[in-house]
Amino acid sequence: MTTTILGFIALGLLHISTAAPAIQRVQIGPVADRSQVPEVTAQGRFLSPQAVSTIDISADGKVVTVGTMAFSHDANVWQFAPDGTILAKRHFPPWAPMQAATLPGARAVAVGLAYSRVTSPDPTVWFGRAENLWAGNLTDDLVEADSRDAQLARLRPGAGDWRAGWFASVFGELFVRGPDWIFKPPAQFLDADGQRLQLRHADNNLLPTSRAMRMTSSQDGKRVAFGWLGFSRNIPGLPTHADAVSVWRVKPNEQLWSALPSLTNTPPSLPDPAQDMLHRCWGDIEKARALAPVIRDKLLAWRPDIVFTGHGVRPNGTEFIEALVQRTEKSLLEK
């Protein structure tokens, strides 16, 4: 059975070049003579107690969040200041943090914990207000298990007995974070104040509801890419996903580009700026050139509240058309 793993392309879609950062070294412990970190493809070996399993730096650079392998009587998630001072720590069940993030201001936190790979519990995400997550007792309203369709968003690398065959590392994400937000599929959106928003179809603000294997945000948080594992053909009894990769705008949430599953190793072409003119499916520069002034002078003059498109309904009609015309005219000037 041939599978498509174009999801990994998502990591490269949103790269933004920046100037080389200034690096300051802060040593918070003695240097080991020999690293205890296994290779990514190591099999039959697990991380040592209190070995670092994930690390994240908040967008404002003021908090370093670290996940470690620990038994239930020890902390497995830590927050550090830039100088190495411990800001907070605690144990989050069930075990094995594979993702951890703190949003700017340190008022919102998310922790994703790996799965047993054989039995329950499923992958788990704790997320919400920092003051509630660091408090003495964790409550059920702060946790959400991975969705059922996420079983097809996990690779089983390696072969043979699960103790010897699994890789030490887990590939994929349970949530994706921008500089000031966190999205956990299928529909939970967390802001920097720790407020949760339930995304809904009725509000026309959904992001992909099926759990992608790979998820990554642009540096400014305005774009997010999703990559799915998929089959080269439909398999009876298994869910399918139309796209292998898709790129979305955030706030307002809107799909911008997607690539279908393919049997070739050649990645699909990246989006043409001309395809974001008036209607992204046209890809016709001359048609856009002729219609842009008509849309601007005639349709926009009506100040519509709602616009129906081939992909749904835009409740903010005038704002949508204004942005569309601006993108069109900018693209035409560059042609």
Q: Identify which has the larger pLDDT, 177 or 258.
A: 177
pLDDT exceeds cutoff 80 at 327 = no
**Amino acid identity of 50?**
Q
CA distance 114 to 121: 9
Taking residues 24-53, report their average pLDDT. 74
By DSSP bridging, strand 230-231 and strand 223-227 are unpaired
Query: CA distances (Å), 55 to each of 80, 148, 281, 335, in order?
Result: 11, 27, 40, 43
* Confidence at 294, pLDDT banded by 50, 70, 90: confident
CA distance 188 to 94: 21
Tracing tokens 């730096």 back to the chain, one arrives at 57
Q: Identify which has the larger pLDDT, 256 or 118.
A: 256
* Confidence at 309, pLDDT banded by 50, 70, 90: low
Taking residues 16-28, report their average pLDDT. 59
Q: Identify which has the larger pLDDT, 276 or 209.
A: 209
Indicate the pTM of the whole model.
0.71
Taking residues 224-247, report their average pLDDT. 81
Answer for the pair 226, 218: CB distance below 8 angstroms, yes or no: no
pLDDT in tens, 85-128: 999 999 998 878 999 999 999 999 999 998 655 556 678 999 99
Tracing tokens 């796209």 back to the chain, one arrives at 243
For 258-283, the DSSP string reads EE---SSSSPPPPPPGGGGSSSTTT-
Residue 15 confidence (pLDDT): 36
